[in-house]
Amino acid sequence: MEMDKRPPADGGDGCLVGVIRIPVKIVAVLVVLPVRVVWELLAAAGRAAHRHVLGPLYVHVLQPLLRALGWLLTTLLKLVFVWPWVGLWRYVLTPVGQGLAWLCRGAYDHLLAPAGRILGTYVLRPLGEALAWIGRGGMRYLLAPLAKGVTWTLWALGMTLFVWPWVALWRYLLAPVGRGIAWLAAAAYRYVLTPVGHGLVWLAVAVFRYLLRPVGLGFVWLVVALYRYLLRPVGLGVVWLAAALYRYVLTPVGQVLAWAWHVAGRIAAALWRGLKRVGWVLVGWPASRVYRHVLTPVGHAVREVWRTGRAAVREARAAVRQTLFGTPPVEPARSRARTLGSTTAAGNTPAPEISLHERQG
């Protein structure tokens, strides 16, 4: 028996394909065809109107009218807002400004400058020289002696009020008191503070020599003896006990725990493999059987229904296009597919997925 079953050469389809194709063609002819015809007619009418009516109307009527309107609006704006100000500036303000500038320059050159030179030469300069001569004479013969007398008076008053009282206070009061205080401080340092300091130093040396030093030596000896005869033996005993505990207790217990952990891991792995096997038997294998023998054929049937409906719609469109425009029908893409090693077109229905065991059975 051949493994590759192909459709008949005449392109015949099964019963299911015929049952689905006929209603689809009816719907395509009754619904799709009128809508498509109306759409094509509207599109053709729109293109014709744009080509023969709207385009020439815009090019020959609206575009010149809009250009003329833009030029008129621009000219009106210039006439109202630009040209009056340009004319005012060019023919009124500029000549008036030039005339005022010429008048100002003439008045300065022929009137203000000569008057200023005459006034400065014959009036202001002599007047300034006279005032300067009067000021120098008054300063020399009147203000200078007066300033000298005022300065001497202020110096004497300042010395009397601010200098001589402080000098007398320092000379007759603060200096003797300071010398007395210095003599008393020197005497107190020599006859009181020095003997007291020597006594305190001798006392400190004696306390260190006869009290602190023996106490310190005794404390050091006590610490050394405590370390040598108590802490060191106890530490060595603790170290020996810890080493023995590690060697004879912790190491065997650790080895036992590691072996138990390894055995528990193997047991857990065996349990996990058993659970996986049970899950496959209870869930995985039934699900694979359902997918292979139920869902896969149903999916193939749905795919065939969809392909058949789509092919029917394509054929209806091709028939409508041929009827309206006379174009030859386009061969569907599925009819151009070729099977491997064959020159005939492959059908829509794929080869049934039947194992060799089922075919032989």
pLDDT tens by residue, 320-335: 777 766 655 555 444 4
C-alpha 43 chain-centroid distance: 52
Distance CA 239, CA 231 (A): 12
Nearest CA to 137 among 129, 125, 126? 129
Handedness of CA 306, 310, 313, 315 (dihedral sign): negative
- Tell me the CA distances in angstroms from 356 to 1, 4, 340, 346, 350, one per residue in order: 10, 12, 20, 22, 17
Taking residues 164-181, report their average pLDDT. Answer: 84
> Coil, strand, or helix at residue 338?
strand
- CA angle at residue 355 from 354 to 358, to 5 degrees? 85
Nearest CA to 304 among 7, 31, 26? 7
Structure confidence at residue 295 (pLDDT) = 92
Place of tokens 């020996």: 240
Distance CA 103, CA 108 (A): 9
Residue 128 has pLDDT above 60, yes or no: yes
Do 337 and 345 contact (CB within 8 A), yes or no? yes
pLDDT tens digits along 20-34: 777 777 877 787 788
- Tell me the CA distances in angstroms from 299 to 284, 287, 314, one per residue in order: 20, 16, 22
Structure confidence at residue 296 (pLDDT) = 92
Taking residues 51-80, report their average pLDDT. Answer: 86
Do 312 and 21 contact (CB within 8 A), yes or no? yes
Single-letter residue type at 31: V
Taking residues 174-178, report their average pLDDT. Answer: 86
What is the full DSSP assignment across 135-164? HHHHIIIIIHHHHHHHHHHHHHHHIIIIIH
Classify residue 32 by burial, with Cβ atoms within 10 Å: 0-12, 13-18, 19+.
middle
Residue 202 has pLDDT above 70, yes or no: yes
Distance CA 311, CA 318 (A): 10
C-alpha 311 chain-centroid distance: 55
Taking residues 224-246, report their average pLDDT. Answer: 88
pLDDT tens digits along 338-348: 444 444 444 44
Do 314 and 332 contact (CB within 8 A), yes or no? yes
Residue 337 has pLDDT above 60, yes or no: no
Mean pLDDT for the chain overall: 79
Structure confidence at residue 3 (pLDDT) = 42
Structure confidence at residue 361 (pLDDT) = 39
Distance CA 320, CA 39 (A): 13
User: Is pTM beyond 0.75 here?
Assistant: no
Radius of gyration of the chain (CA): 65
pLDDT tens digits along 248-275: 888 888 888 888 888 888 888 888 988 9
Taking residues 105-134, report their average pLDDT. Answer: 81
